[in-house]
Amino acid sequence: MKFVITAGPTREPIDPVRFLSNRSSGKMGYAIAAAAIEANHEVLLISGPVNLAAPAGARLVSVITSDEMCAAVQEAVLDCDVLVMCAAVSDYKPARVAEQKIKKRDERFSLELIPACDILKSLPPSRNFFVVGFAAETNDVEEHARAKLATKNCDMMVANDLSDPNIGMESDENAVAIFSRSGESEEISRASKKIVARALVKKIRANAKKVLTKKF
């Protein structure tokens, strides 16, 4: 199968030296890419700024902003079997980017934000590839994940609980819950992201083959 996997954060510029971002390290997305290669799948890895080496065998596309990631995904899905949207794409970006560094002043400063590109919602509703979304939540994890599964038109949603500081973002370990369009759910217990990634790739492949039977 041809996997397109997104990983890491995006950075939304405020001025030439400042940006909005998040705590995503890219470790989970890179682990999924490595696991997919290990399982003999073809991998295109679309990555935001991270301090990680791309897995051997992956074709890497480096991006910075949400708009760049959206454009890269739109091109990549023209020829893929599975899209795994593991990246922590910014929800908002500055309405305007200052051309020069904004100087510090002894007064309040307001930054107007506008919605960033919603990559999952931008995908065509009718498609011939399997879509896996990720939901990083701090509360009501299952409720939010199932809602996102429906509103983002995904085939599968992988959720993790960010209220536990020992797993998820920046950690080497993770624990996730998987929700499918059919209503089924499954949990992968806390383990290294490498082990979680291997389990995820097996689950994704099995479910994708059911949905994409005409392609295999």
CA nearest to 130, candidates 188, 75, 209: 209
Least confident stretch, 13-22, 107-116, 130-139, 166-175: 166-175
pLDDT at residue 214, as a whole number: 53
Model pLDDT, residue 82: 98
Distance CA 142, CA 139 (A): 9
End-to-end Cα distance, the chain: 9
CA atoms within 13 A on the CB side of 54: 17
What pLDDT, on the 0 to 100 scale, is given for residue 126? 85
**For residue 182, what pLDDT is reported?**
86
Indicate the pTM of the whole model.
Answer: 0.94
The domains found in the chain, sorted by start residue, are 2-96+111-215 (3.40.50.10300)
Least confidently predicted of 51-55, 100-104, 130-134, 163-167: 163-167
pLDDT (tens digit, 9 = 90+) per residue, 22-59?
Answer: 999 999 999 999 999 999 999 999 999 999 999 999 99
Query: Tens digit of pLDDT for each residue in 56-72?
Result: 999 999 999 999 999 99
- Active-site annotation, residues: 22
